[in-house]
Chain A
Amino acid sequence: MAQEHQAQLFEFLCRMGDNTLVLGHRVSEWCGHAPVLEEDIALANTALDLIGQTQMWLGLAAEVEGKGRSADDLAMLRDVWDFRNVLLVEQPNGDFGQTMLRQFLFDAWHLAMLTALARSSNARIAAIAAKSVKEVHYHVERSGDTVIGLGDGTSESHQRMQKALDLLWPYVGEMFVADAVDDAMASAGIAPDLAALRMEFDALVKPALAEATLTIPEGGFAHKGGKSGFQHSEHLGHLLTQMQWLQRAYPGASW
């Protein structure tokens, strides 16, 4: 029983850390390519926050696992099928608008999740969440404003944002579908009930998308398989070949 709980806790912590790791890497791909200097800096800073949060989540995951692995081992030496991030964060950047929409959808979930985790029964998790949520408040303010600005912008920017929303909305559902790990975390008071989280997400996201004059696609279809590790999209493998290249080519390299 205790062993099963540790395994589920490890799984939960990998989900938190893999989300921030994969999105952090994706966002860092913009470094030097953003449309204007201020946005380039903002994206790089967001990526930096996410990678910093990854170190805390995967560091704790490695400790809980107790097999002598480090946060770096988990980040750099696992293969696609061991990653537990949601499919949303591994989707390619697309144009700047698509990147910011993906960021907003994730930030809104992240904010609600971390706010709840700051009250976790697990003190270590509560401390990481309380630290991270301050940074995420800042992220969501910016991504939300940008989505509104571009959605309710020119006809070109509006059309691109609508296209991005049509593409990314089906990835929202996975963040709120509870499985055995989520149920175990919720009943132990470690993590929140995901159905309640969805209400907070909707209360933030729906008015913002309305203000952005964007239409949420109909239907409740959700792409799934990322956080369970059952089936990632092909994009994750390509991302890992870049992110993990150095440790794969020169095992144990450090400086």
Chain B
Amino acid sequence: MITVQPALESLTILIAEDSAADRMLLSSIVRRQGHQVLTAANGAEAVEMFRQQRPQLVLMDAMMPVMDGFEAAAQIKALAGETLVPIIFLTSLSENQALARCLEVGGDDFLAKPYNQVILAAKIKAMDRLRRLQATVVQQRDQIARHHEYLLNEQRVAKAVFDKVAHSGCLNAPNIRYLQSPYALFNGDLLLAAFTPAGDMHVLLGDFTGHGLPAAVGAMPLAEVFYGMTAKGYGLAETLREMNAKLKRILPVDMFCCATMLCLSVQNRSVEVWNGGMPDGYLHSVASGERTPLTARHLPLGVLSPPTFDDRTEVFPMALGDRIFLLSDGVIDTCDADEQLFGVQRLQQVFAANRQPDTLFEDIEQALRDFRGEARDDVSMVEVSLPAPTQASPPLPIYSDSGQSCPLDWSASFEFRAATLKRFNPLPYLLQLLQEVHGLRAQSGALYSVLAELYSNALEHGVLGLDSSLKRDVSGFTRYYQQRNARLDELEDGYVRVHLQVTPQGEGGCLAIRVEDSGKGFDVGRVLERPVDPVRLSGRGISLIRQLGHNASWSDDGRSARVEFLWKALA
């Protein structure tokens, strides 16, 4: 909308005319119309006068001595730059060519002699409108440019802050490859990865609704929950529940976050998956060449209230070298000129045609370009394999306490009963408690792994009575976890007891862990005789416990497991 002020503003108008009588006459006419008048008798004077006084409009005779009107007009236009200074040529030129030249050099209109007051007033008014319009356009353009600069700066700052948060994880780990535009954050895309205390890796690819800063803002609390809970040893279910609750609480109703979260376990050679609203991911088995889709089974994070949120995950066996591919909807929702979607089928064609796994991203990008002609900037892709076991040693947390108050002679017993076993993961709390013992901190990874193994053995094989031999093949693996979820849902009785005993031994000390369950027990002798299963889809993780802990032993027909951790004097 352009609003023109009804009352004509008084302008300063330069009259360049070599004929004294014409100059005098025109000055009078213009003054009578309420404007200020500057005069010049030739082109050079006109240019100089313009330089000094910056009039808003110029009436210019074409034919003048010293410097003609054409040259003067060109110079004035150059001096005026972005400001529109309308130039009306005063002329009795009758030749079309000369009239055309007036416009070519930058003139905006003509006024023929003899002068007509009415026409002149109308032309000045029209030119003034044009002048204001141009001024408004320039002003608004500058304003937009300033806003844009401001916005970019905000994004730079936000990105810098966010990079600090997001890159505190392990996206640079050698088992992760990813592709994200530098400002993917502002398209709502989010990629996080971190090691658990046991050396498993959690990966999350998220996609917030919306764009720009609003989309980026939600990423911060999500990342904090992700890193905080992963580092403390929480599993996918608890972490997802907490992320959902937090987003539900802080985000407006129309905002939520589609996400796929993975837990890659080297020890179990498995991947646990939760997909809420993201496109299918794919688990590519190197041995079979098969691609298992990791389909969305849930609503995005931040949609459901905490009681209705579904944290059920799926677990798939995964061999070293197998790859998981996750992608954002920017890939399959890319449109061509006819609004056709790239789609899942085309993506699968790229998979099928891909011969060199390391060039998969490039192949997909090329396919998108071929399809559309230009790349979207909200395409996120990530490919992960199992982390190498040596890789799985997270940096030790830094503790600020001096160690003077370290507890060295104590014991504690816990009993977790059915209703608790259904939903609560006690491991982070137990680990945190044990971290108070300085001598144990250096082996917290092993401690966590053993504790996790003992607990899941007690829960799954003991309380739930699941048969670990089910996990021998891929379909059995899936059935195992289906049964686990089903039996846990139906669980009414049973318990897992954890006894911790810390005793000083000379300058060092000893932690004894005993885990008991209410299950049927197992034939300890037979299991211990069995050779270690190299693929380790089954086997109760008993060899892991014997490797990492001391004096591992089973009693009460396998219902009670005991293991020790020792430490020497601290330096």
Task: Indicate whether A and B interact.
Answer: no
Please give the residue numbers on chain B whose beta carbons come within 8 Å of chain A beta carbons, in ascending order: none
